Chains A and B, each alone.
Chain A
């Protein structure tokens, strides 16, 4: 975690320029979290609405769905905690984020030239990060209260009812945030390689995170090789 998840990565000159965005550790960490979240959403939705109960078939039936859902939740919690440690600093709110958010219409209309230059994350990504962080804490704490097999004796039925309602609402919210996250990654082309291969093109960084690119370029040692490669 000492690499460029928290410290800036390197810019590799070439045609096109490539920019390191995520270390291999961060990518593995991300995909464990992603897989957990998807399994949790599918198994949770099976228990949420009768019309989706058929999803329990993916996990070997209702009993097994009930059994694994909370355990996957524990995996997600610790996995996301790793991501939180890696990314929280880069997700602190900056002055330009307010302006970016105020011009979200331009962003959605693919007119990024009208919004301020942003660092490693824009306000939308920061929203996703903090929403995920808060919702995961809500989900794990309410989830433990309704984990009947091990924790039913520690709370009253009245408290468990509150936890059930909170858990359901938070789960809907986090799936909503996930839709925003996944859609944005698809809509903004060139984003997915960041989490697959670990790097993006210079053009992608210039277009979406110019302030971050400038910081990397001007930072001593920010470019690969002490001498020009040409």
Chain B
């Protein structure tokens, strides 16, 4: 068992990280932070999850969101998808393991992965709407968000959702406000089976090791840690019993990375585009300086007058 985080003290605590600890800020640059915070991570052990949705409830409660009361549409997911009011969602899939002929119930808690290389932040056009702290937390700053939805296109996991109420993007914050005062995320606090644990990224990797060894001993030969290198690793990791087939878990991408289309759009297009326009304007200016204006001459006017007059005589 991983030691649970202690309850908060009753005295005021100064936040452990702030704007001074930003390593990335959307559509802008930040000075390198003076100190590197210890990277944190949430570890979700799907093999321990019982699908109780306590994490969802805790998330709603802590973040004070008010998801609409939905309707039952025949599946376990409730609501059916992430929404601006539901930052985390238990996704359920039933899978018949062809090797054992067993029906496996694979439950995955979906939500922001807090990528080391966040696609949302790369795509964001609004300065400071998406920030990344040196402890690995990727957070949305709502007063800077313009609601364009570019983050959705940038995200390799399809996580952010735009609110129809305030037109800004929402997603899991990794409970940055709780972590800042030494607490863990609300979902981890609420999880009754320790399927969700929180600590430093190193601790989480070590804890995962033990879990993977245990799963392998119990016949899950492909058990492993999901910490995809394509996005530089994540600060939300999964222990999967079938780490060789992450797609089984409601489409968890096998090798997620920022789409090459997004890279092209935010890379070469952005720079080449402005260069092309600058050159076009410059060529125009240069042409005018060298060649000068194309003026109508008096001869042109006389020719036109003669043409109009001669035609009049012809037809007269």
Q: Give bound CA distance, A188 to B294, whole Å.
A: 5
The answer to whether B218 has its CB under 8 Å from any CB of chain A is no
Which listed segment binds B: A32-40, A72-80, A155-163? A155-163
- Which 9 interchain pairs have the tightest Cβ spacing? A202-B304, A148-B149, A62-B146, A203-B301, A203-B300, A50-B27, A172-B273, A183-B284, A206-B304
Interface centre among B295, B298, B308 (most CB of A within 10 A): B308
Q: How many residue-residue contacts, CB under 8 A, span A and B? A: 172
Chain B contacts with A in 267-316, Cβ cutoff 8 A: 269-270, 273-274, 276-277, 280-281, 284, 287-288, 291-298, 300-305, 307-309, 311-312, 316
Q: Give bound CA distance, A102 to B203, whole Å.
A: 71
Assuming A148-B152, A172-B273, A176-B280, is B308 touching A207 (CB within 8 A)?
no
Which listed segment binds B: A8-16, A85-93, A132-140? A8-16
The answer to whether B118 has its CB under 8 Å from any CB of chain A is no
A207 contacts which chain B residues (CB < 8 A)?
296-297, 300
User: In the bound complex, do residue A48 and residue B146 qualify as a contact, i.e. CB atoms below 8 Å apart?
Assistant: no
Given A65, A108, A112, A169, which contacts B273 in the complex, CB threshold below 8 Å?
A169
Which listed segment binds A: B37-45, B187-195, B257-265? B257-265
Closest to A207 in B: B300
The answer to whether A120 has its CB under 8 Å from any CB of chain B is no
User: In the bound complex, do residue B301 and residue A201 qualify as a contact, i.e. CB atoms below 8 Å apart?
Assistant: yes
Q: Give bound CA distance, A65 to B273, whole Å.
A: 20
Distance in Å from the Cβ of A10 to the closest Cβ of chain B?
11
Distance in Å from the Cβ of B294 to the closest Cβ of chain A?
5
Q: Give bound CA distance, A27 to B181, whole Å.
A: 64
Closest to B27 in A: A50
User: In the bound complex, do residue A168 and residue B301 qualify as a contact, i.e. CB atoms below 8 Å apart?
Assistant: no
The answer to whether B199 has its CB under 8 Å from any CB of chain A is no
Given contacts A63-B146, A148-B149, 15 further A-B contacts (CB under 8 A): A13-B305, A15-B305, A48-B125, A61-B146, A63-B167, A65-B146, A110-B294, A165-B269, A176-B277, A179-B284, A190-B296, A201-B296, A203-B301, A204-B296, A218-B311
Main secondary structure of the interface of B (DSSP, over half): helix
- Total interface residues in chain B, CB < 8 Å: 55
User: In the bound complex, do residue A53 and residue B296 qualify as a contact, i.e. CB atoms below 8 Å apart?
Assistant: no
A167-184 interface bits toward B, Cβ cutoff 8 Å, 1 = contact, 0 = none:
011011001100110010
28 contacts between A and B (CB under 8 A): A16-B305, A46-B125, A47-B146, A49-B273, A50-B27, A148-B148, A161-B265, A164-B262, A165-B264, A168-B273, A172-B273, A176-B276, A176-B277, A179-B280, A179-B284, A180-B280, A183-B287, A187-B284, A189-B293, A190-B296, A201-B296, A202-B308, A203-B296, A206-B300, A206-B307, A207-B300, A217-B308, A217-B311
Closest to B146 in A: A62
Q: Give bound CA distance, A218 to B292, whole Å.
A: 34
B1-35 interface bits toward A, Cβ cutoff 8 Å, 1 = contact, 0 = none:
00000000000000000000000000110000000
The answer to whether A17 has its CB under 8 Å from any CB of chain B is yes
Q: Give bound CA distance, A202 to B303, whole Å.
A: 8
Q: Give bound CA distance, A67 to B259, whole Å.
A: 26
